[in-house]
Structure 1
Amino acid sequence: MENRPKTTVILATTADGKIADFQRNAARFGSDIDKNHLEKQISLVDGVIFGAGTLRAYGTTLTVRNTELLAQRKQENKPSQPINIVVSASGKIADNLRFFSQPVPHWLITTEEGTKNDTSNFEKVLTFSPEETGKINLVAAFKHLKEIGLNNLAILGGGELVASCLEENLIDEFCLTLCPYILGGKTAPTPVEGKGFLSKHSQKLELLSLEQIEQEIFLHYKVF
């Protein structure tokens, strides 16, 4: 971890393990308690990172608004909002999203091909794509983020990005909120997508804490 930020995946999931419905609409099943939990976790990090699909579904990001959390960031000499980093190999992000009017730093991680699209809404565009693959080199990207002072990252989805990070051993912890809903659907996205892992190579977790608040269960795992 010395060559990359500490990373925590923060997601709300239904009881059947879905993070959105089969049409991939924005998940709205988390309670206000879960939203406050997410805001607190975001307030603790230097940057939040999420895939383009997640941004397209929501159109916005969650900003830190709680006055106590803002005061804590100020006391620690941190900017009021963490850097918001979108990961998109294509670089095709609609320029009319409300996200771009929100008071957060907007960064993009993409490929050389992705930079051929209009990325002017982003204050910073970073490319980490070996020519032979055309894919984003997440290991190099995370190393660079660490080098420029981002020591703690929150990964907010989607499942493809989480899977890619897991494959490269780039995830340290999971904070999962288990919500009392069933969505079903074989195509509905889950916290970890990608090709998947064989059972003998499954990623093992250590439960650090478990808390029930009303109808939701907050799970905190360490990856090992």
Structure 2
Amino acid sequence: MSDSTAGTDLTALGPVSTTEDGGLAQYYAYPENLSSCWVRANFISSLDGAATADGRSGALGGAGDRAVFRLMRELADVVVVGAGTVRVENYSGAQLGVAERQRRHARGQREVPPIAMVTRSADLDHDLAVFTQTEVPPLLLTSRDTAADARARFAGLAEVYDCSGADPAGVDLGAALRTLAGLGLTRVLAEGGPSLLGTFIADGLLDELCLTIAPTVVGGGSKRIADGHRELITRLQRRHVLTDDEGYLYTRYSRD
């Protein structure tokens, strides 16, 4: 459809084909032969831009969103989240079925991706589900000032890594990604929260955004999917837009 007044060509997106069982993975495949981390963020938003409803992102989701969420975990080497999101969303370890594990094995991946938590202070309770309900130990990507103490406090519960840059009290996401790449975990899935995504964006480290748009409006004062004090405008290319019978949109945008 051509809008001659604006001089812009617009395309009406409609039902072109149905994704068959097992075919969804082709829409979300990571680049092959990665030598460094590829950072994919997966978030959900309402039509009016809210990243949460009732304080949780899960309240916006539907069956299709949960299917995409599960697929992305299957494809990832590691799931990266902020400590605040772990607490609010009551994170546990990734849970995958037999078929998902077999497909991971065929791709040369470990059976289950670990949860990697970004936390300057490592101030986390030992009884959190991320420690008690997991098949593989989570990773703590923390600061140099905290790492030694955290290794002692979380011995047997988590693997602790010093991911500071110039500031020994902070976590440098570039250093964190180099740490993950050194562990062979290059297919990164960032799930939250808004502050972590905002930092990935501001540091120029986000390669891909998969955004589910829920057919709801929320109002109120909910945060956007990205939060922070620094801006970096980054142009992304549309890779696909999928939909379902409930009216959700599943978008994928990435760098060139």
**TM-score, normalised on structure 2?**
0.77
Instruction: Tell me if 1:154 matches 2:185.
Output: no
SS in 2 for 1:27: helix
Who is 2:51 aligned against? 19
Over 3 Å counting, the alpha-carbon distance change for 1:173 and 1:147 in structure 2 is same
CA distance in 2, matches of 1:41, 1:177: 13
Equivalences for residues 40-59 of structure 1 within 5 A: 40-59=71-90
Higher relative contact order (CA 8 A, sep 6+): 1
Shift in Å, 1:96: 1.4
Identical-residue share of aligned pairs (%): 21
Q: Note the aligned Cα RMSD (angstroms).
A: 2.2
Over 3 Å counting, the alpha-carbon distance change for 1:91 and 1:128 in structure 2 is same
Larger Rg: 2
Who is 1:181 aligned against? 216
Higher mean displacement: 35-44 or 69-78: 69-78
SS in 1 for 2:209: strand
CA distance in 1, matches of 2:165, 2:240: 39
Instruction: Tell me if 1:142 matches 2:177.
Output: yes
What is the aligned length? 219
Instruction: Tell me if 1:112 matches 2:147.
Output: no
Which residues of structure 2 form unaligned runs of 5+?
Answer: 1-30
Instruction: Tell me if 1:91 matches 2:122.
Output: yes
CA contact (8 A) 1:60 1:99 kept: yes
Instruction: Tell me if 1:30 matches 2:61.
Output: yes
Instruction: Tell me if 1:191 matches 2:255.
Output: no
Which residues of structure 1 form unaligned runs of 5+?
Answer: none
CA contact (8 A) 2:65 2:212 kept: yes
CA contact (8 A) 2:138 2:157 kept: yes
CA contact (8 A) 2:44 2:57 kept: no
Over 3 Å counting, the alpha-carbon distance change for 1:26 and 1:212 in structure 2 is closer
Who is 1:127 aligned against? 162
Runs in 1 of length 4+ with deviation above 6 angstroms? none
CA distance in 2, matches of 1:174, 1:13: 12
Over 3 Å counting, the alpha-carbon distance change for 1:114 and 1:59 in structure 2 is farther
Over 3 Å counting, the alpha-carbon distance change for 1:62 and 1:83 in structure 2 is closer
SS in 2 for 1:218: strand
Over 3 Å counting, the alpha-carbon distance change for 1:175 and 1:185 in structure 2 is same
Over 3 Å counting, the alpha-carbon distance change for 1:41 and 1:25 in structure 2 is closer
